[in-house]
Structure 1
Amino acid sequence: MTKLIFGVVADDLTGGMETAAMLVAAGIECGFVTDPDLVGSCGDVPAILVAQKTRVIPASEAVTMTEKAARALLARGARQIFFKYCATFDSTDQGNIGPVSDLLMQLTGAEYTAFCPASPALRRTVYNGHLFLGTELISDSPKRNDPLTPMTDPDLVRVLQRQTPTRVGLLAHSQVNAGADSAGRAIAEAAARGIRYFIADTIYDRDLDTLATLTCDWKLMTGNATIVQHYPAIWKARGLIATARRPPGLRAVGGGGVVLAGSCAERTLEQLAEFEKSHPLFRIDLPNAEDVAATVGDALDWARPRLDRGPVGFATSGAPEAVKMAQQRYGREGAAQLAETILGRLAVSLRSIGVRRFVVAGGETSGAIVEHLGIRRLRVGPYGGPGIGTAVTEDEDPVALCLKSGKLGPIDLFATTLEAMLNPEAVN
């Protein structure tokens, strides 16, 4: 059996799917499950990813769920564990990046690890330990208004240190720029002083390549999906995997198509506006949607006569003012849970009337919908660009899914992705 080179635990489904899609695009077959109990059934593959909805749940629950996933991957002989989180380091002072990393350090026996959320191609960079979105510090960007994980401190060393008793330090850009060997010596010297976690300055794609070379043999690495693209070439060069082969393509899926949007990110709002130019969109009034059954029923009644004419959309997404109103009425977590419950139950009802193609916007929303649909395993297609991960269930009555990060994707993603699901080979 092929040795499991790479075992990934992802803290949401959108980023998890994007990570798996990057590996598939590089010719690395990657098992994708949402239930750690299915890790053993993924077959003879060099990479397996367990994606779970752990980003914003209580830290103790996130640790418990992650432990089960990591133990399953380690039991399969995973050479390295990779903890995948968001490019904007989505977390709070209670976690969950710090507590989960503490658990993974213990399980893997790693001496130290690094944190690399950067995605230079998307202008998410880290310099002097500070996270930038384009030219703005993250604390000056729209991310400061995130309803669940507002980022008001750009210094990731401080952010992470508030989440963990483990000492956090900086791997400065001058050290990264000097190459993997030099960076490794800098880390070893800092580790001798008791530092175990390193925020990695990352400005350019070449920095990602350096960091991948540096960390390829580590027991534990953490970061955003982007650095994962740099590992396959290293594995091949070192003979850890055979020559890459193109994994089987995704099946074409017919049936109705829908967009389900729960993200309040500016990009998702722009994508919804573009979709609404040519497709019907049902906007759910979340501040007045406490009767879930009635809200779902109204949305389904609206959809029935329209689905035969093409894709439709549903959104609990709103501008910051609308989000604030919902949070004032239900509380921050209550508003998020209400939106996820409505869209999750709506997805189940839509599936019952023939919908088989779903584009979902938002990490938490994606997790809720996959849970409601009872999906535990997916075949992921090759990477289609930032924020685009597509997959199909492997049962007799397949469902096609695109789980989209709220902050990413081209403006016309909703309509074009639903169309592509009808004939995925045409775009792969």
Structure 2
Amino acid sequence: MLLGAIADDLTGAADLALTLAREGMKTVQVVGVPEKGFDFGDAEAVVIALKSRTIPADAAIDLSLAAARCLLANGAEQLLFKYCSTFDSTDDGNIGPVTDALLDLLGVPLTLACPAFPANGRTLYRGHLFVGDQLLSDSPMKDHPLTPMRDANLVRVLQRQSRNKVGLVAYNAVDVGSNAVAEAFERAADAGERIVIVDAVTDEHLRAIGRAAAGFRLITGGSGIALGLPENFRRAGKLSGSVTEGFSPPQGPAVMLAGSCSAATRRQIAAATAAGVPVLKVDPLDIAEGRTKADDVAAWVRASGTTVPLVYSSDDPAEVKKAQDVLGRDRAGEVVEHLLASVAVNLKRGGYNRFLVAGGETSGAVVNALGVQAMRIGPEIDPGVPWTHSIGDERPVALALKSGNFGADDFFLKAWGMLA
């Protein structure tokens, strides 16, 4: 193993694993911290998917350190802490506290933070994060039910979370190239900064940052930052030059499950509905009060015929808040995640083996309920979202795990053609 990655949610892990595989590294994605002695095979990159984005910071630190120690024990030369390209977090964490803990574990003086993902419209300029043409604080992320992002200045955001000094490597250095970035890193370290936000507007910027960070033991960012990392190992003669074995998903009945309330997922649901996809909306209050049960939802799915049906709880922010006001923020999400995970288990018992899931928390709940431990990366549906299939299972399943904010409006419609 050359590169060991710790992802704070499942969909982000799949996105990262896709990037590394596409750049030529043999990549395996593992769900949760594996037990001692887990066989990673000939993987050159291993991505451990955690569910640590919105849990208490102390718990996120413990999980992340356990994952880091596992990766280091299996030979990882470089660690990557992967979080969302919209820097999803609150002033209590978890990006800053986990980064601080990993810096201390490794005993290194400096790391970088760069969530930029230009292919999905996430860019950084003068330390400010943009979503498309909007500042993060003006985008729909300002109304996220768990991590509302109302400050686009990531230096400020991260400094509120971290006990280390946070700095900035600005666009004027990044646009010159990797040597200028490396010099900026040296100046930051001399100034006592331990974490630097790094601007990036294009993929070439990300590759330049990767080259400049070749000697870093720890890198943090979105999946885009991984664009420039495999080439460092290739130049050192450490990559095999071949990728993992071919993608061979199982064939069988399929279902779509959406728990994300992001604007992108709501548009995708609208497009699927307009195209005639059978849809069933479930309500958190009905679930909590026992009026909507997993067995009934699974029965509806099985009765939907040959068209792949969609079960969703996604709603606009005002409706989400109504449920949160009654159930509490965490409980409102948990009841939906538990229901959709239970539906997936029910359907798998009945022979369903292809699942498209929207939302990081929902994806984590579904994958854990299905008992999936590791996945092979398959074709890319939209930037950052691959098909995968489980490995090491007696009854493998195909999985598309979509971050709520990712994917074009027709995502739910076009994904299935890739499995034909």
Same fold (TM over 0.5): yes
The partner residue of 1:63 within 50, 58, 61 is 61
Where 1:288 maps in the other structure, the secondary structure is helix
Q: Deviations over 1:283-333 (max 9, x none)?
A: 002233214584213312322222x42311100111112111111111111
228 and 338 in structure 1: CA distance in 2 versus 1, 3 angstrom threshold: same
Q: Distance in 2 between matches of 1:46 and 1:304?
A: 40
Q: Deviations over 1:363-387 (max 9, x none)?
A: 1111111111111111122444313
Letter in 1 for 2:4: G
2:375 and 2:389 in contact (8 A); partners too: yes
Q: How does 1:246-325 map to 2 (within 5 A)?
A: 246-276=243-273, 277-291=275-289, 294-306=292-304, 308-325=305-322
2:19 and 2:384 in contact (8 A); partners too: no
Letter in 1 for 2:346: S
- % identical equivalent positions: 40
The answer for the alignment partner of 1:175 in structure 2 is 173
Q: Distance in 1 between matches of 2:153 and 2:122?
A: 14
Unmatched 5+ stretches in structure 1: 424-428
Letter in 1 for 2:363: S
Shift of 1:135: 2.0
Where 1:194 maps in the other structure, the secondary structure is coil
The answer for the alignment partner of 2:376 in structure 1 is 379
Q: Deviations over 1:162-200 (max 9, x none)?
A: 111111011111122232222222222222221111000
Determine if the alignment matches structure 1 residue 80 to structure 2 residue 78: yes
The answer for the alignment partner of 2:145 in structure 1 is 147
1:275 and 1:414 in contact (8 A); partners too: yes
Q: Distance in 1 between matches of 2:116 and 2:283?
A: 35
The answer for the alignment partner of 2:323 in structure 1 is 326
The partner residue of 1:124 within 122, 125, 128 is 122
Could you tell me the TM-score, scaled by structure 2's length?
0.95
13 and 292 in structure 1: CA distance in 2 versus 1, 3 angstrom threshold: farther
336 and 201 in structure 1: CA distance in 2 versus 1, 3 angstrom threshold: same
1:358 and 1:418 in contact (8 A); partners too: no
Shift of 1:119: 1.3
Letter in 2 for 1:9: I
The partner residue of 1:106 within 88, 104, 110 is 104
1:300 and 1:349 in contact (8 A); partners too: yes
Letter in 2 for 1:126: L
Q: How does 1:152-231 map to 2 (within 5 A)?
A: 152-231=150-229
Q: Distance in 2 between matches of 1:236 and 1:387?
A: 23
The partner residue of 2:403 within 402, 405, 409 is 405
The answer for the alignment partner of 1:426 in structure 2 is none
The partner residue of 1:353 within 350, 354, 376 is 350
Determine if the alignment matches structure 1 residue 396 to structure 2 residue 394: yes
Letter in 2 for 1:279: V
Q: Distance in 2 between matches of 1:409 and 1:123?
A: 11
Q: Distance in 1 between matches of 2:167 and 2:178?
A: 17
The partner residue of 1:43 within 29, 41, 44 is 41
230 and 271 in structure 1: CA distance in 2 versus 1, 3 angstrom threshold: same
251 and 115 in structure 1: CA distance in 2 versus 1, 3 angstrom threshold: same
Determine if the alignment matches structure 1 residue 15 to structure 2 residue 15: no
Where 2:331 maps in the other structure, the secondary structure is helix
Q: Deviations over 1:398-426 (max 9, x none)?
A: 111000011111222223323433x4xxx
Q: Distance in 2 between matches of 1:304 and 1:130?
A: 47
Which segment is superposed worse, 125-134 or 289-298? 289-298
The partner residue of 1:366 within 363, 367, 370 is 363
2:282 and 2:292 in contact (8 A); partners too: no
Q: Distance in 1 between matches of 2:78 and 2:271?
A: 41
4+ residue stretches of structure 1 with deviation over 3 A?
A: 291-294, 382-385
Q: Distance in 1 between matches of 2:390 and 2:43?
A: 18
The partner residue of 2:332 within 307, 330, 335 is 335
Where 2:161 maps in the other structure, the secondary structure is coil
Which segment is superposed worse, 33-42 or 109-118? 33-42
Unmatched 5+ stretches in structure 2: none
Where 2:293 maps in the other structure, the secondary structure is helix
Q: Distance in 1 between matches of 2:401 and 2:199?
A: 29
Letter in 1 for 2:351: G
Which segment is superposed worse, 39-48 or 124-133? 39-48
Q: Distance in 2 between matches of 1:415 and 1:41?
A: 36
Q: Distance in 1 between matches of 2:40 and 2:8?
A: 20
1:357 and 1:418 in contact (8 A); partners too: no
The answer for the alignment partner of 2:94 in structure 1 is 96
Could you tell me the TM-score, scaled by structure 1's length?
0.94
Letter in 2 for 1:100: V
